[in-house]
Homo-oligomer: A and B are copies of this chain.
Amino acid sequence: MAFSFGNQLKVSIFGQSHSEAIGVSVEGFPAGLTLDMEELQSFLARRAPGQKGTTPRKEADLPRFLCGLTDGRTNGAPLTAIIENTNTRSRDYDQLRRKPRPGHSDYPASVKFHGCNDIAGGGQFSARLTAPLCVAGGIALQALRQRGVSIHAHLLRVGEITDRPFDPISFSKEEENKLKTAAFPTLDPAAGERMQQRIERARLALDSVGGVVECRADGLPVGVGNAGYGGLDGAIAAVVFGIPAVKGIAFGAGFDAAQKAGSETNDPFYYDETGAVRTRTNFCGGILGGMSDGMPVLFTVAFKPTPSIARPQETVDLEKKENTTLCIQGRHDPCVAVRAVPVVEAAAAVAIYDRLLEG
């Protein structure tokens, strides 16, 4: 299945980029959870377009809750929200059924669905479908906070520009607040400035640029997740790869660990002053044997550059069966990683809350 996932928290996402509406239905939130709708709106606003370095398209993205809430609290029934699609310009996409866009799903989708797929705006493959994920994730974030767990992400890299990475051990309230209120999602505002310039340069060059999002989850109890194929890392990865343009995920030291010695990457345990078991370093990214070890869970996600670029590109004409050239019209984020920051948080929230509910 493409859009149904989760074990204890069953998420079913639906919609296409230009369908009448998109939405999500979630089973598994415990009854009695009070939803803070304003907070949810703020969270959704972080992925909405119109920010610097993103597309000028307007999407209100106000979810309408159809069911699952009684007097503002979850009532144990599936929680379903839809977002009406109002601002769609399907004419932009007429030629794409014939001429698949490089780097996009158009070609394999047309083969898989025998040409019956919805091509407009990328159909079900559109990043627009991350909006309902953020609805589910935004609620999961609220549910997690009630259990003492918080999740934060920032833009670690855009092209060759890098932000300061998260401290793998501690995350101060001050830093958390600064990140939350930052106009651009970096820990270091100067890095953010340079990233925005880098993105603008890509845009002016009719090009795009990739990026890396780093995410942390603090406050998880020890033992969340499972051995084998039920690990917290695998669960997060499975959801994260549902976000369009993701090309990689790594936990803790990640690919760098491959170049290290065990004496360098083993995280020594010790008792801290409160009597809690902690590790002095956190190269494992807070996960041992698929389970949380009590330290912050840390991972990075690689996003490829937006494949929709305004330059002429080589492709094929599937009707004429010949090689041709394509010019993509329309408005596109030159760097999908920017708006992906809250989406990664949402993905992590959904995956982690699912494992936390396993108890």
Contacts and interface: CB of A to CB of B under 8 A. Distances in A.
Interface stretch (A36-44, A55-63, A270-278): A270-278
Contacts of A160: 259
A107 B269 contact: yes
Interface in A234-285: 234-235, 237-242, 244, 246-255, 257-271, 275, 277, 279-280, 283-285
A141 to B, nearest CB: 18
A3 B260 contact: no
Interface residues of A, number: 146
B248 A210 contact: no
A305 B261 contact: yes
A248 B247 contact: no
Contacts of A307: 262, 265-266
A285 B16 contact: no
A235 to B, nearest CB: 8
Nearest to A25: B14
* Total copies of the chain: 4
Contacts of A82: 66, 82
A267 B102 CA distance: 6
A16 B25 CA distance: 13
A117 interface: yes
A67 B21 contact: yes
A110 to B, nearest CB: 9
Interface in A285-311: 285, 288-294, 300, 302-309, 311
B257 A247 contact: yes
A173 to B, nearest CB: 26
